[in-house]
Chains A and B, each alone.
Chain A
Amino acid sequence: MSQKVLLNATEINIALNRLACQLIEKHDDFSKTVLIGIQPRGIFLAERLKTLLEDEYKIKNIKLGYLDITFYRDDFRRGEKPLEANKTNINFIVEDKNVVFIDDVLFTGRSIRSALTAVQSFGRPLEIELLTLIDRRFSRHLPIQPDYRGRQVDAINGEKVKVCWKENDGEDAVYLVKS
Chain B
Amino acid sequence: MSELSVNHLLGIKYITEADINLIFETADHFKEVINRPIKKVPSLRDITIANLFFENSTRTKLSFELAEKRLSADVINFASSSSSVTKGETLIDTVNNILSMKVDMVVMRHPNPGAGVFLSKHVSASIINAGDGAHEHPTQALLDAYSIREKLGDVSGKKIVIVGDILHSRVALSNIFALQKLGASVKVCGPKTLIPKYIESLNVGVETNLRKALEWCDVANMLRVQNERMDISYFPTTREYTQQFGLSKQLLDSLKKEIVIMHPGPINRGVEITSDVADSKQSIILEQVQNGVAIRMAVIYLLASKIKHHED
Contact = CB atoms under 8 A, between A and B. Distances in A.
Contact of A83 (B33, B44, B305): B305
Contacts, number: 49
Interface residues of A, number: 20
A57 interface: no
A86 to B, nearest CB: 8
Given A71-B42, A72-B41, A77 B29 contact: no
Interface string A98-137: 0000000000000000000100111100000000000000
A72 B40 CA distance: 10
A46 B11 CA distance: 43
A85 interface: yes
Contacts of B39: 121
B307 interface: yes
Contact of A121 (B3, B38, B305, B307): B38
Nearest to A95: B37
Interface in B284-310: 301, 304-305, 307-309
Contact of A77 (B2, B38, B305): B305
Binding site secondary structure of chain A: loop
B26 interface: yes
Given A77-B309, A82-B2, A83-B305, A117 B29 contact: no
Contacts of A78: 309
Q: Give the interface centre of A72, A82, A83, A117 by most chain B CB atoms within 10 Å.
A: A82
A120 B38 contact: yes
A16 B150 CA distance: 40
Given A71-B41, A72-B42, A85-B26, A77 B307 contact: yes
Contacts of A88: 29, 32-33
B40 A77 contact: no
22 contacts: A71-B33, A71-B41, A73-B43, A76-B43, A76-B305, A77-B304, A77-B305, A77-B307, A81-B2, A82-B3, A82-B305, A84-B2, A87-B32, A88-B32, A117-B42, A121-B33, A121-B37, A121-B39, A121-B41, A122-B37, A122-B38, A123-B37
Nearest to A83: B305
A88 B304 CA distance: 22
Contacts of A71: 29, 33, 41-43, 71, 301
Contacts of A72: 41-43
B246 to A, nearest CB: 42
Interface of B: 2-3, 26, 29, 32-33, 36-44, 71, 301, 304-305, 307-309
B222 to A, nearest CB: 34
Contacts of A120: 38
A40 to B, nearest CB: 13
B107 to A, nearest CB: 18
Contacts of B3: 82
B37 A77 contact: no
A73 B38 CA distance: 17
A177 B305 CA distance: 30
A70 B42 CA distance: 10
Nearest to A123: B37
Nearest to A81: B2
Given A77-B308, A87-B29, 14 more contacts: A68-B29, A71-B29, A71-B33, A71-B301, A72-B42, A73-B43, A76-B305, A81-B2, A82-B3, A85-B29, A87-B32, A121-B33, A121-B37, A121-B38
